[in-house]
Amino acid sequence: MSHTGAAPVEYLAVGAPAAGPYALVSGPDGALWVTLVHAGAIARVGLDGSVEQHQLEPATCQPSQIVAGPDGALWFTRTADSRVGRITVDGRVSTFEVPAGPYGIAVGADGALWFTAMAANLIGRLGLDGSVRQIPLPIPGALPSMINSAPDGTLWFTLNQANAIGRLLPGAAPEVFPLPTPGAGPVGIAATGGGAWFAEILAGRVGFVDPGGRITEIALPDPAARPHAVLADGSGCWVTEWSTARLAHVDSRGAIEHVGLPAGSEPHGLTRGSDGALWVALEDGRLARVLDPRTA
């Protein structure tokens, strides 16, 4: 079951169309912090519409995923130069060298930053002191992508090329749960207290994995939707549909609601702002602010 809602949507330019707003998070200052993957910059976007860009060096570092750290700073992966960056709310930037191809990043229950290293095929732990621990994955070439931390300390992550979901429990070796649909290409993932929601970008599906490793898949109306980022809520999850330029809500019963976005806007990252709205990073240089029709 699917229907398209008429949720109010506002748009805010945060850079040139080629800048590539990619991922975003609500910071400790109440502002949104956005990676500009093509411009090699981090943008601070106030809820009043103010925009401040912080240029990174080199500009080709490809800032990708971003998270609010436990120390009051923002931490982000730099996929092209194998570093994790840290930016304070007043714009001071520092970096830490990590294994090749960092992409996903999350704050663990232990207060460290956990990240995926796509090229190195491992999960890494970056301490606030800069120390790095590496946890190799059991499948070669798995391409670990996004990672998210559950309230109980479980880390859930997607293995894009292994067509599987991974789980890392404190003190244990990584576990792998294969997906029922071949070639699904999982990317985004959002942990909950009872498992994790994830997006299958190549299959046009949204899935859920429970603590026992059981997987449920829900087909989106358009199999070519290319779902990317996932944000869990109390009844299911929100997911960005990159190809069809829509925001979808999927609940545990399989009901789907859609919010339309401009054609060609390429929605990627997704977060909930300090104002309670849903904010979406559009690769056309803008953010979309969506009043959640389910809570309004």
Render the burial of 187-218: b for 16+ CB within 10 Å, e for the rest.
bbbbbbeebbbbbbbbbbbbbbbeeeeebebb
What is the edge-to-edge ordering of all strands in the sheet holding 267-272?
9-13, 286-290, 278-282, 267-272
Q: How far apart are the C-alpha atoms of 190 and 203, rounded to whole Å?
A: 18
Indicate if 268 belongs to the active site: yes
Q: How far apart are the C-alpha atoms of 237 and 232, rounded to whole Å?
A: 4
Q: How far apart are the C-alpha atoms of 91 and 85, rounded to whole Å?
A: 12
- Supply φ then ψ for residue 211, to 5 degrees: -60, -20
For the purposes of burial, counting CB atoms within 10 Å of the CB of 89, is it exposed (0-12), middle (13-18) or buried (19 or more)? middle
**Paired sense of beta strands 2-5 and 256-260, if any:** parallel
**Residue 4 near residue 45 (C-beta atoms within 8 A):** no
Residues with active-site annotation:
268
